[in-house]
Structure 1
Amino acid sequence: MKFLVFEGLDGSGKSSLMRALEGELARRGVAFQRTREPGGTPLGDEIRNMILRTEGPSPLPRTELLLYEASRAQHVEQVIRPALAKGTWVLCDRFTASSVAFQGGGRDISEKDVMSLNDFATGGLKPDLTILLDLSVEESRSRRQGRGAANGESEDRIESEADSFHEKVRQSFLKQARAEASSWLVLNAQETPEVLFQQLLKALAEKNILK
């Protein structure tokens, strides 16, 4: 079993790449479970709504971080660890790196504090590989707006933050990828979905994750 995490700015194509990999795993007869953060459990989904809703008072940065970590602790114990224990691959849309990027980078909370809480919430669980779909802030905004216009949905509280916030988030992701290069894969999200998928498969083979 393997634990793969997909990270990046909103609109970077995480969901599309995850679906493509799901299809490949299904073709090969590999059992997998797809999940996401925040959320992944009934309690986690309630916390997700609290964090992302645009109406009502916004949580303070530390409150926001603690809500994410509460959702994560529930998620790891109820979903991720049980799946891995059964030999099932886990594909997760966002994990601990997002807290370092959004709350550490974006909200200017100490990265050391964020990482400490990450370790507490996960019990030290680490992904086998974190796939970062790197995208410019401008392109991320353009894709989000296009998606919103197509489906009639408005941006959530995090998505509606200023470009300066999202740039700090992006740079934090890239910093993390440089610091842990052996367990990260950085892909240019401007590439077509087909190219990204082939690049992912090549990397998984080279890392002996999926041959």
Structure 2
Amino acid sequence: MIAGQVARAAVPSRKAHKEVRRQQLIEATIDTLATKGYSDTTIAEVARRAGMSSGIVNFHFESKEKLLVETLSYLSEEYRSNWRNAVAKAGAAPAAQLAAVIEADFDRKICTRRKLAAWCAFWGEAKTRPAYLQHCGANDDEFQATVRDLCTRLVREGGYEGYDEQHIARGLDALLEGLWLKLLTAFRNVSREEARATAFAWLAMVFWKHFTTEGPIPHIEGGNR
């Protein structure tokens, strides 16, 4: 009886150990992509960084391509969950939700040089690799649709005349992508805080009834301050 209980208890322990190893290999892949680039990311290098053998990498992922797809899947889900959760916690006001999107994009957990470099490596290959395009494209589509919806709600709520919500949303998306690229290429000169401030400065110019350079204006009623 006791032996059976011990055996059953050991199963989730082995499963947990397997998940830990898989996560270690994914993190090592992100590190390798960030420092070596896509073409020089190999099973051997990932194994070396993780402190494991190439055989263990192949055991968990079978091939380099599957390892890379799983790494991209992890990055995509981490990013998506982060901004979704931020929006869900922001309340019902569109300004608060859009501010949450900005904060999530420059979250310390998400916006790191190694992860930005890994994203760039995958983006560079996405056009020729359907699996990468599926992950990157699905993430982008949902994010852009959410930003577009929030911009539409802000335009209506604030009574901004002559505004094209589609163009505004596309402009904000381009700004955020550009700031990520700036952080990657000039990390010593541009901080997450400065990138965040730039995004809010843009919002304050466009949605001036809803934002200051510090963030959303509280207690908006009928679109007026």
- Please give the range of the TM-score, normalised by the shorter of the 2 chains: 0.3 to 0.5
Question: Could you say which structure has the higher helix fraction?
Answer: 2
Instruction: Indicate the structure whose relative CO is greater, using CA pairs within 8 Å and at least 6 residues apart.
Output: 1
Q: What's the TM-score, normalizing by structure 1?
A: 0.33
Q: What's the TM-score, normalizing by structure 2?
A: 0.32
